[in-house]
Amino acid sequence: MTAPWSTIPDLIDDAAERFASNEAMVDGDVRWNFVEFRTEIRRAAAALMASGIERGDRIAVWAPNCWEWAVTALSVHVVGGIVVPINTRFKGREAAYVIEASKARILFTVTDFLDTDYVALLTESGVPAALDEIVVLRGTVPDAATAFADMVDRGTGVTDDAVAARTASIQPDDLCNIMFTSGTTGSPKGAMLTHEATCRAFKSWSDVIGLHQDRYLIINPFFHSFGLNAGILACLMTGSTIIPHPVFDVAQVMERVPQERISMLPGPPAIYQTILNHPDLDSFDISSLRLAVTGAAAIPVEMIVQMRERLGFEKVVTGYGLTESTGIATMCRHDDDPEIIANTSGRAIPDVEVQVIDSDGNEVPRGEPGEIVVRGYNIMVGYLDAPEKTAETIDADGWLHTGDIGVMDNGGNIDITDRVKDMFINGGFNAYPAEIENLMMNHSDVASVAVVGVPNERVGEVGYAFIIPVTGSSPSADGLIAWCRGEMANYKCPRHVAFVDAFPLNASGKVLKYELREQAIASLG
Position 10 pLDDT exceeds 70: yes
- Say which CATH topology domain 425-523 has: GMP Synthetase; Chain A, domain 3 (3.30.300)
Helix, strand, or coil (residue 351): coil
8-13+23-192 and 425-523 agree in CATH topology: no
Cβ atoms within 10 A of the Cβ of 338, count?
12
User: For 373-390, what is the mean pLDDT?
Assistant: 97
Q: What are phi and psi of 452, to 5 degrees?
A: -130, 160
d(CA 211, CA 264) in angstroms, rounded, equals: 8
277 to 254, 297, 445, 500, 503: CA distances (angstroms): 13, 20, 11, 14, 14
Give the pLDDT mean for 66-70.
98
pLDDT band at 298 (very low <50, low <70, confident <90, very high): low
509: pLDDT confidence band, cut at 50, 70 and 90?
Answer: confident
pLDDT over threshold 60, residue 494: yes
- Over residues 382-407, the mean pLDDT reads 95
**CA neighbours within 13 Å on the CB side: how many for 342?**
13
**Pairwise CA distance, residues 341 & 337, whole Å:** 7
Looking at residue 184, its pLDDT comes to 42
Alpha-carbon distance of 490 to 473, in angstroms, equals 26
pLDDT at 384 over 90: yes
Q: Kindly report, residue by residue over 237-293, the tens digit of the pLDDT.
A: 999 999 999 988 888 888 899 999 999 999 877 678 888 988 988 888 899 999 999
Provide the residue ranges of all domains of the chain, joining segments of one domain with +: 8-13+23-192, 248-420, 425-523
pLDDT of residue 428: 66
Query: Residue 514: its pLDDT value, please?
Result: 85
pLDDT, residue 237, reads: 98
Topology of the domain covering 248-420: Rossmann fold (3.40.50)
Strands 175-180 and 190-194: antiparallel
In this prediction, residue 521 carries a pLDDT of 94
DSSP string, 28-69: TTEEEEHHHHHHHHHHHHHHHHHTT--TT-EEEEE--SSHHH
Q: What is the pLDDT of residue 297?
A: 47
Among 126-140, 200-214, 349-363, 433-447, the least confident range: 433-447
Determine the Cα–Cα distance for residues 297 and 412; give it in Å rounded to an integer. 17
pLDDT single digits (tens) 106-139 = 999 999 998 899 999 999 989 999 999 999 999 9
Q: What pLDDT does 507 receive? A: 62
Determine the pLDDT at residue 79: 98
**Mean residue pLDDT across the chain:** 92
Distances (CA, A) of 19 to 22, 237, 290, 413: 5, 10, 21, 35
Is 185 a residue whose pLDDT tops 50? no
pLDDT at position 510 is 78
How many beta carbons lie within 10 A of that of residue 392, not counting itself? 11
CA 234/CA 231 separation, integer angstroms: 5
Rounded percentage of the chain residues whose pLDDT exceeds 90: 70
Closest to 115 measured CA to CA, from 270, 256, 249, 247: 247
Under the phi-then-psi rule, with left for phi > 0, alpha for psi from -120 to 50, and beta for the rest, what region is 244?
Answer: beta
Among candidate residues 496, 19, 90, 84, the one with its CA nearest the CA of residue 241: 19
- CATH value of 8-13+23-192 in 3.40.50.300, 2.40.128.720, 3.40.50.980, 3.30.70.270: 3.40.50.980
Check: CB of residue 251 under 8 Å from CB of residue 493.
no
Q: Is the pLDDT of residue 343 over 70?
A: yes
pLDDT confidence of residue 296: 55
- Which residue has better confidence, 317 or 198? 198
Short-list 8, 2, 22, 4, CA closest to 212: 22
